[in-house]
Amino acid sequence: MRRCFVLGAVVVGGLMTLTSPLHAQGYRVRLDTWYMNYAYRGYQLDSVASGDVVVDSATGGLYTPDGHVVTCGAGAAYCQYYPAKEEQRGQPLHSTLDATLWGLGIPGLSFRLKARLSTDFASERTWPATEPSVELFEGFAEYKNDWLTAVGGRFHEVSRLGWTGMDGAKVGLHLFDRKLELLGFGGWGLSRGAPLPVTSEWINPLDQYQPLDRGYILGGGLGWQLGTFQGRWIYQREPDGSDQHYLFSERTALDASWRPVREIGIHGGAEYNIAVGTWGTADVTVDYSSANRFMRTSMGWRRYRPYFPLWTIWEAFSPVGYDAGWASLTLYPTRGLRLWGKGEVFGYENTNTSTPNVDVADGGWRWTIGAGYDAIRMWRFAGNYYVNKSVGASSLGWDLRATFEPSRKFYATASGGYLNRPLEYRYNDAKTWNVGLRLDWRPIPDIGMMVEGRYYAEDRDRPDAAAIREWNQFRLNAGLTLSFGSGADTPSLSPAILRVPERRSAQ
């Protein structure tokens, strides 16, 4: 992967050098660097000889000699328990490079590179996604004109089926004044949520179940726009690269939207898992905005069913989905004041299992209310209160935020909140308070700096020795964003200047 990153950077840098004499050559580079210092404390699995287990005479509970709750199997020589681990420190750093190059003598041709360098300065390396240290997210060439789009390299196809990464090519045809689009793509696939193939040593959640051969992706789609009605259909198939062509996934999806009048919109879609023969996630939403901008509201229904590639074992457990109905409302009663709220009720499908001695809930509800005010010069305020009653766990909390912005170059945000998470089926009810201050400074349009300090006070309530009482920590976040290129200074220019026609002297 490091070689891919270096080669991509060399190619882009070389093209920028070779094409510098071209008349309209341009480039844009953005570099984001973020650092965090934090503490983490979890639990670890341990065991004790069954003969050393202590029985509480009052409750009949089983404990270790030092007071930890244990679980003992029938006739087992050892019982298991979860003591609290020592505090671990993490210091991750991520730096993301995003570069675009265009104007290479061929109108419509451009190159894109996006890569990330990661590390964790702490010896424990507790922060996820810091290895591999170099990742190539995208690196492709793209050609566009009025009727054709062609892409080759590493890219993502974004659709209702999610972000699908691949090393391959994509071709799109735009017909009838872009009212009809035909799409086709194919290549070697990447893992879900990571710019790595499933055969990578870093993608190994199930050890012996990891594929030995990298899969490839074939797909296509159709998009249309007829007045206020538009939609898109897509099909995607992913077999592995072995001689047997084992199937990783095969899915299709359709989504559409229609705005019969300016104030009302209807949106929805559905997914179908062809490989399994089940319907996946689906939803429909109706939104309304009043003509005087006093109110915005929406309501809808959604069905969610988790999706897993067939090379994992999770689809064998027949996961069920849930159905939810929801509604939201936002009001603007006076200048600078916003009031909002959202509520949802949901219920899981029948799992077709029998639990005669246990009454298990199969649904829940959640709601949020909030307010914001920004009519005071240089100040903005916002707050939320939320409640979530779900299956097996619940949560409630609130957050407040105040932002002071004396100029477009600098602003400060103070925020705080509270979260309570009671659990039904296991110990460890957690309560967390936090308060923080964030400073953002942009001395010039193409340089941005951020630093944030946040204090957390957490209490993990358990009736045994594994309780973590008054565990507090301070977290530090810092970031730097640099943007430069042939058009790097244009954001600071007056809009009137940008509208002046460009003139060039004859050579």
Q: 337: Cβ–Cβ under 8 A, 6 or more apart, which residues? A: 371, 372, 373, 375
Q: Which two tokens mark 5?
A: 């990153």
The answer to whether residues 281 and 292 touch, using CB atoms and an 8 Å cutoff, is no
What's the confidence (pLDDT) of residue 6? 42
Q: What angle is formed at CA 32 by the lines to CA 31 and CA 36, rounded to 5 degrees?
A: 150
Per-residue pLDDT tens, the chain, 507 aa: give them: 444 444 444 444 444 444 444 455 799 999 999 999 988 888 889 999 998 999 988 888 899 999 999 989 888 899 999 888 888 889 999 999 999 999 888 999 999 999 999 999 987 777 877 888 999 999 999 999 999 999 999 999 999 999 999 999 999 999 999 999 999 999 999 988 889 888 888 876 555 678 888 889 999 999 999 999 999 999 999 998 887 778 999 999 999 999 999 999 999 999 999 999 999 999 999 999 998 889 999 999 999 999 988 888 788 888 889 999 999 999 999 999 999 999 999 999 887 777 666 677 788 999 999 999 999 999 999 999 999 998 878 899 999 999 999 999 999 999 999 999 877 666 677 899 999 999 999 999 899 999 999 999 988 888 888 888 878 999 999 999 999 888 544 444 444 433 434 333 333
SS3 337: strand
The residue type of 406 is P
What's the confidence (pLDDT) of residue 335? 92
What's the confidence (pLDDT) of residue 110? 95
Strand positions, DSSP E, 103-214? 109-120, 134-144, 148-159, 162-175, 180-189
What's the confidence (pLDDT) of residue 147? 94
251 bridge partner residues: 236, 273
Q: Measuring CA to CA, which residue among 374, 384, 321 is closest to residue 350?
A: 321
Structural Rg of the chain based on CA atoms: 28
Residue 423 DSSP one-character state: B
Q: Measuring CA to CA, which residue among 130, 194, 128, 184 is closest to residue 157?
A: 184
Q: Measuring CA to CA, which residue among 322, 325, 363, 320 is closest to residue 344?
A: 325
Distance CA 282, CA 270 (A): 4
The answer to whether residues 164 and 217 touch, using CB atoms and an 8 Å cutoff, is yes
The answer to whether residues 257 and 230 touch, using CB atoms and an 8 Å cutoff, is yes
The answer to whether residues 213 and 207 touch, using CB atoms and an 8 Å cutoff, is no
What's the confidence (pLDDT) of residue 396? 94
Q: Which two tokens mark 36?
A: 């965090």
Distance CA 112, CA 155 (A): 9
What's the confidence (pLDDT) of residue 15? 44
Enumerate the H helices of 180-291 as residue ranges: none
Tell whether omega for the bond before 491 is within 30 degrees of 0, i.e. cis. Answer: no
